[in-house]
Amino acid sequence: MNCARGGIIDEQALADALATQHIAGAASDVFAIEPPRADNPLFADGLRFIGTPHLAASTHAGLRRTGMIIGQTVLTALNDIKGSDT
């Protein structure tokens, strides 16, 4: 399972390993080319591969946390600017 970064997995080698049953299955939500093209070898018929969208941060909680971090960063920067004016 790869949910880190696209491109760290050789997708053709993974497809070959799946086709020859050297590994039983694989899953990924990241690809070397985003969005993945229809001719990606991992999408070949008969491979035990699950591809999902890379949306982990798009939950309500994830978006709220991101907004809070951005807001705090802006406030900190504004306070730093205000503090340097005195």
- Which of 5, 37, 48, 64 is catalytic? The answer is 5
Q: Specify the 3-state DSSP secondary structure of 50.
A: strand
Q: Is residue 11 flagged as an active site residue?
A: no
Q: Is residue 37 flagged as an active site residue?
A: no
- Residues 30, 4: contact at Cβ < 8 Å? yes
Which residues are 50's β-sheet partners? 27
| 65 phi and psi angles, rounded to 5 deg | -60, -45
- Which of 11, 22, 34, 65 is catalytic? The answer is 34
**DSSP symbol at 28:** E
52/47 Cα distance (integer angstroms)? 15
Catalytically annotated residues:
5, 34, 54
